[in-house]
Structure 1
Amino acid sequence: MSPEGGAEPIRPRASLRTAVVWEVLRDALDRRAKSTDRPVLEVLDTGGGTGNFAVPVARLGHRVTVVDPSPDALFALERRAAEAGVTDRVTGVQGDTQGLLGVVAPAGYDMVLCHGVLEYVEDAEQAVRNVVAALRPAGALSLLAAGRGGAVLARALAGHFAEARHALADPDGRYGEGDSLPRRFSSEELTRLVAAAGLRAVSVHGVRVFADLVPGVLVDTEPGAAEELLRLELAAAEDPGFHSVATQLHVLAERG
């Protein structure tokens, strides 16, 4: 599966991990462009790194500003945008969510992407308030963060039962000192964060419910397995029953 509408093709294995978010994001961009009667939207991608989402969004025709603290990531973003032919629609800016409003204009964006950021910031609530402050009055937020329950399930299935139990009880969802993520979230925690910033959650999806658990050799060698797994991911993403075991959680939020 690959994005439609001229967006950058996504490799089969990568699509299993990004398809759910991309489907929600692309639909939200389309609806917003129609509702505002502006085919070209201003999109801000905080922590956007090398442009995994920024470049496909730019290929849809929108203008994307990527804010990331890593100069190396921004250099890779520039190269990737050039290869995709969207250099004129992608701008990289060095910075982070803490000082976001010092490097981008407040209330200047139709949509803000905040993907894989909240796990690392010191104050998640303040980070969400900062990205929301960059939204126009009718703007939308795409929020993606690591899921607490997914880590518990993954450690248990790997045979690390003590770590699974630790992650289950830990306030930040960490499985121990060797855990590379400072924190994980539940869907309830993410929706509370967006509500505290003045937004309402339009949708919540589980991401990578099965993709990280299925052996790669099965997906890569069994005919049709990747396509069927992708269909399963898309179907399960909308079922709240699977949110508690998803590797990541995605929230699309708008102003009340």
Structure 2
Amino acid sequence: MSDPMRPRASLRTAVVWEVLKDALDRRAKSGGDPSLDVLDTGGGSGRFAVPVAALGHRVTVVDPSPDALFALERRAAEAGVADRVRGVQGDVHGLFDVVDRSSYDAVLCHGVLEYVDDPAEGLRNVAAALRPGGLLSLLAAGLGGAVLSRTLAGHFNEARQALEDPDGRWGEQDPVPHRFTVDRLTTLVEGSGLRVGAVHGVRVFSDLVPGVLVDTEPGAREALLRLESAVASLEAFHSVATQLHVLAEAPPAS
């Protein structure tokens, strides 16, 4: 089974996976049904979708790439969860051309918001896919992490540019169209009609530590994972995280 906690992926996904797994468990218990309907927007080849399906949930992945969806199908089959994973081609701006509104207990929106033309519109669509009381797991690029990494690389003008640019871009060659502060991201979430439950800083240190140290020093990877988990919920570290993770909920049924 593909697992976000396997060694190569773990430093990038461990914090999000543990938070998401616990949140899905709480949602399932509160709804009285152990199997949730989960939508993974931009879920690609199934890095999260397949492990979520392995928990017993039904997962629909919406992604614009046919190649990614083919890889998703293969990965789901190899993991023995093909009957619980469905892939459809599309994106968040045309989301309701391929899925129904108010049809999901949980929506994953990981690494999507920074690449869409209009993040506010994209997030409104994502929120509209949730059932009352549904869960959103949102992961997006953090501004502070980019400023810090450009500074440590000696690109001081680019770091200043990212800090001052409305979209957090460090220059014309920057491959990321949008980066977010916690305030901007939570404002977008609240503007979509959802209630913010928790914010986590992701990859606070792991992008800054030399890979050779993590790969060769005995116990280094596990120690770094524990450190990332320890600081993820501490507000003081959110401003330097490479990514920001937000858990949010849709209003309950009236």
Q: Is contact 1:7-1:59 (8 Å) kept?
A: no
Alignment partners' CA distance in 2, 1:159 and 1:168? 15
Question: CA 1:116–1:9 in structure 2 vs 1: closer, same or farther (change >3 Å)?
Answer: closer
Question: Gaps spanning 5+ residues in structure 1: where?
Answer: 1-5
SS in 1 for 2:239: helix
CA offset at residue 248 of structure 1?
Answer: 0.2
Residue-by-residue CA offset, 1:91-137 (whole Å, 9 max, x unaligned): 00000001101110111000000011111111111111101111001
Q: TM-score, normalising length from structure 2? A: 0.97
1:59 aligns with 2:54: yes
The residue number in structure 1 matching 2:102 is 107
Please report the TM-score for the alignment, with normalisation by the length of structure 1. Answer: 0.96
The Cα offsets for residues 15-65 of structure 1, whole Å up to 9 and x where unpaired, read as 111011101100000001100010000000000001010001001110000
1:14 equivalent in alignment to 2:37: no
Partner of 1:225: 220
Number of residue pairs matched by the alignment: 251
Letter in 2 for 1:135: L
Q: Partner amino acid for 1:193?
A: L
1:229 partner letter: L
Which residue among 77, 88, 109 is the counterpart of 2:83?
88
Give the partner amino acid of 1:108: S
Contact 2:4–2:47 under 8 Å retained in 1: no
Q: Contact 1:13/1:226 (CA < 8 Å) preserved in 2? A: no
Task: Supply the distance in 1 between the matched residues of 2:8 and 2:80 (Cα, whole angstroms).
Answer: 24
Work out the CA distance in 1 between the residues paired with 2:246 and 2:2.
22
Contact 1:112 1:142 in 2 (8 A): yes
- Match among 122, 138, 151 for residue 156 of structure 1: 151
Cα distance in 2 for partners of 1:204, 1:128 equals 16
Instruction: Quote the residue 1:182 is aligned against.
Output: 177
Cα offset, 1:255, TM superposition:
2.4
For the 8 Å contact 1:8–1:84, the answer to whether it is kept is no
Residue-by-residue CA offset, 1:57-103 (whole Å, 9 max, x unaligned): 00111000000011011001001111111100000000000110111
Find the counterpart in structure 1 of residue 43 from structure 2.
48
Choose the corresponding residue for 1:210, options 205, 210, 227: 205
- TM-fit CA distance, 1:193: 0.7
Percentage of pairs with the same residue: 74
The code of the aligned residue for 1:55 comes to: V
